[in-house]
């Protein structure tokens, strides 16, 4: 009787874990989830001037509101932080570059380009976060991440409603 109760408890726990997206039992697989979760279309690993670089290409079909043409929407800030985190945590590259395009009305337009070296990403505090803390840490560390990295935003981007 105790054995069957234990089996029912284990099965119930597994079902709850799967339904809640438990990452301990089923960890996210790099780089597959970047393609699925962040609209990444390609990741290139290159050596540029002796530096190991991961270039992440992203295409967005929707861009949220931006306070000014020189700023990013909230989702793009999150994407920059989280993509940077996952690439550095899952590879040994020295630098991450993210090149994002906006696909509006059938034409690709550059939206932003971001690059940062591992040392600067570590200084921002981003890489000290656990995966569970990541969404909150990205919000609080984005300005520091941006100031330590190099961010270009297309201020002439034509965003169609």
Q: Which residues pair with 20 in a beta bridge?
A: none
State the pLDDT at residue 38.
95
pLDDT at 27 (0 to 100) = 58
Q: Where are the beta strands (DSSP E) in 25-139?
A: 40-48, 51-60, 95-104, 107-117
pLDDT in tens, 36-56: 999 999 999 999 999 999 999
Distance CA 23, CA 69 (A): 37
Which pLDDT value is given to residue 4? 57
Radius of gyration from C-alpha coordinates of the chain:
19
- Please give the domain boundaries of the chain with CATH numbers for all domains: 24-153 (3.10.310)
Residue, of 35 and 2, whose pLDDT is higher: 35
Q: For the segment 60-92, what is each residue's pLDDT rounded down to a tens digit?
A: 999 999 989 999 999 999 999 999 999 999 999
Q: What is the pTM of this model?
A: 0.81
Task: Give the model confidence (pLDDT) of 82-141 as tens digits.
Answer: 999 999 999 999 999 999 999 977 789 999 999 999 999 999 999 999 999 999 999 999
Cα dihedral 113, 109, 46, 131 sign = positive
Asked if residue 7 has pLDDT above 80, the reply is: no
């Amino acid at each position: 009787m105790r054995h069957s109760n234990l089996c029912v408890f284990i099965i119930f726990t597994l079902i709850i874990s799967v339904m809640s997206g438990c990452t301990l039992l089923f960890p996210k697989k790099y780089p597959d989830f970047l393609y699925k979760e962040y609209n990444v279309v390609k990741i290139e690993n290159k050596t540029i001037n002796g530096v190991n670089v991961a270039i992440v290409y992203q295409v967005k079909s929707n861009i949220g509101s931006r306070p000014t043409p020189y700023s990013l929407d909230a989702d793009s800030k999150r994407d920059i932080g989280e993509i940077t985190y996952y690439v550095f945590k899952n590879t040994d590259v020295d630098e991450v570059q993210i090149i994002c395009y906006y696909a509006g009305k059938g034409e690709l337009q550059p939206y932003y380009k971001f690059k940062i070296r591992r040392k600067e990403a570590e200084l921002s505090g981003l890489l000290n976060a656990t995966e569970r803390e990541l969404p909150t840490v990205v919000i609080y560390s984005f300005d520091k991440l941006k100031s330590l990295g190099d961010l270009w935003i297309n201020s002439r981007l034509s965003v169609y409603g």
